A = this chain, B = another copy of it.
Amino acid sequence: MRVVVVGGDAAGMSAASQLRRIAADAVSIDVLEQQEWTSYSACGIPYWIGGEVAGPDALVARTPQGHRANGINVHTGWRAERLDVSDRTVHAVEPRTGAPRAFPYDHLILAMGARPAAPPIPGLDAPGVYRVQTLDEGQAIIDALQSRPRRAVVLGAGYIGLEMAEAARSRGMSVTVLDPAAEPMTTLDHQMGALVREALTQRGVTVRMGEGARAIVTGPDGHIRAVASDTAEYPADLVFLGLGVVPRTELAHAAGLPLGAHGGLLTDDHQRVEGHPDIWAGGDCTEVTDRLTGQRRYVPLGTHANKHGRVIGLNIGGVETRFPGVLGTAITRFEEVEIARTGLSTHEAEDVGIDVAATTVTTTTRAGYMPGAQEMRVRMLADRADGVVIGVQVVGGPGAGARINTAAMALWSRMTVAELVQVDLSYAPPFSPVWDPVQTAARVLLAKL
C-alpha cells in the first residue's frame, strides 16, 4: 500500500508514525514537506523569540532523519504542485533540479497546515514585519534582534499576540498591542477579556483596543518605521502579526476537494475528506466539529492536529477510530497571568439559541493562607434549560490555567453544574482551596439556576 502525505508537521507526521507503528512493512509512506523541518512546535516559537528556549533544534520533536530511520520517506524541500484525484497522484517538483516527479498513492493524507491571515493592510510585507508560523520565520526574528530593536508593535490581542507581547518584553522592548476588538482574547467573554487588558496594562504594555492597523509606515530605506491606525501612529522597530491563521488549502481546492465556510477541508468523523474514501485530512488545513453545537469551526491547534494524525493513521491501518470533535479548549499566558477557556462563550452560546446562565467568581490558586496563593477568576456558563455546563473561562495567577482541564472534562461528559459540585477533586493547601475553584464557580452558578 502506497501512502503519500502532504505536509510534515503535527498531523502529517503523527499519521505517518501511527500508521508505521501498526502497519509495519505492509505500507510505503512518502511525505512531501516544503521546509527543511518536520514535527516541530510552532507553539514554541514565541518562547524561543523570548529567549526561554534555545531554538530552533529544541522545537523539533523529530527530525526528517529521525522519521527516515523509522521507515518514513521524508522529502524535505519538496513542494506538492498539483493533486490529480482521478489518477490518484500527487505531482511534485524536485527542489534542486525543478524536475517533476509523480507520487502515486492508494491513500493520500493532506496536512498542509495554515498560514498567517493577511488582511489588506498596506505595507504588511515590508521588512520588519514578522509572522511566527514557521521555524524560518522564528529564525528571522532572532536575527532581527541583533539590531537591538526597542519598540515592538503587535497586531492582534489574541493568543499569538499576547505570547509575542511577552516575548518582546522579555527582550527589553516596549510593546504596543493594537486590536480592533473591544477587549483582548475575543474567545473570552468581555469581562474576562477586560481582566486580560488590565493585566497587560499593569505590566506596562500599551494596549489600544478598538483600534486596528490601517497601514504599516515605512521609511526611505523601505524598512518599517511605524504602524498607523485611524487615530494615531505608533513607532515600531519590529511588527509582529497575531491576526490569526487561515487554512492552507489551495492545492486541495484546485483539485476540487470540499472546503467549508472557514476555508478548511471538510472531513467526516474518521478524518476522511468528504466524498473521497482514499483521501484523509487533518490539522490546521481542516475544519472541525464543535461537540456542543454540532457546527463546523476552524480551530487550528496542535492538539487537534496530533489527534487527527493518530486517527488517520489508525483508520488507514485498519483500526477504525473516530475523531469525536472539539470543545474549543485553549490556554495561554501573559507573563505570570494565565488565561484559559473551554466550550462556548456567552456570545457563541446565544448564537445557537441557548438561554445562558453565567457567573464569575473570584477565588485563589491555592489555599488562601499559603505563600504563592494568587487570585483567580472563573467564569462559568450553563444552559438554563438543563443546567449543563457549556463554557468555562479562567484568568489568574500561576496554577489557574491548568484548572481548565477539569472544566473541559465536565463539558466533554455533558455534566450538569449540580453534578460538577460533587465530583471528588483533589485538595491539599499547596494545590487548591478546599473547594476547587471550578467547583466554587459551579456552586455559585447552581444557586442561580
Q: Interface on A for B, CB 8 Å cutoff?
A: 10, 41, 43-44, 47, 52-53, 58-59, 159, 291, 301-304, 306-307, 310, 322-333, 338, 340, 342, 367, 369-371, 399, 401-406, 408-410, 412-413, 415, 419, 421-432, 434-436, 443
Given A53-B370, A371-B52, A329:B425 Cβ within 8 A: yes
Given A41-B367, A370-B52, A371-B52, A402:B426 Cβ within 8 A: yes
- Residue contact B41 to A342, C-beta cutoff 8 Å: no
Q: In the bound complex, how far is the Cα of B310 from the Cα of A304, in angstroms?
A: 39
- Residue contact B408 to A426, C-beta cutoff 8 Å: yes
Given A370-B52, A408-B424, A434-B302, A429:B44 Cβ within 8 A: yes
- Residue contact A425 to B303, C-beta cutoff 8 Å: yes
Q: Which of B328, B370, B428 contacts A332 (CB 8 A)?
A: B428
Cβ of A443: which chain B residues have Cβ within 8 Å of it? 310
Copies of this chain, count: 2
Cβ of A419: which chain B residues have Cβ within 8 Å of it? 324
Cβ of A307: which chain B residues have Cβ within 8 Å of it? 421-422
Q: Which of B41, B302, B330, B436 contacts A405 (CB 8 A)?
A: B436
- Residue contact B331 to A426, C-beta cutoff 8 Å: yes
Cβ of A327: which chain B residues have Cβ within 8 Å of it? 424
Q: How far is the CB of A413 from chain B (nearest CB, A)?
A: 4
Cβ of A303: which chain B residues have Cβ within 8 Å of it? 424-427, 434-435
Cβ of A301: which chain B residues have Cβ within 8 Å of it? 427
Report, nearest first, the 9 A-B pairs whose CB atoms are least far apart. Answer: A409-B409, A331-B426, A413-B413, A58-B369, A327-B424, A303-B427, A329-B424, A405-B406, A326-B424
Q: In the bound complex, how far is the Cα of B402 from the Cα of A436, in angstroms?
A: 11
Q: In the bound complex, how far is the Cα of B419 from the Cα of A324, in angstroms?
A: 9
Cβ of A409: which chain B residues have Cβ within 8 Å of it? 405-406, 409-410, 413, 423, 425
Q: List 8 A-B contacts (CB under 8 A).
A: A41-B434, A44-B369, A47-B370, A302-B427, A322-B422, A405-B409, A409-B425, A412-B413
Q: Which of B10, B52, B291, B429 contacts A434 (CB 8 A)?
A: B10
Q: How far is the CB of A115 from chain B (nearest CB, A)?
A: 20
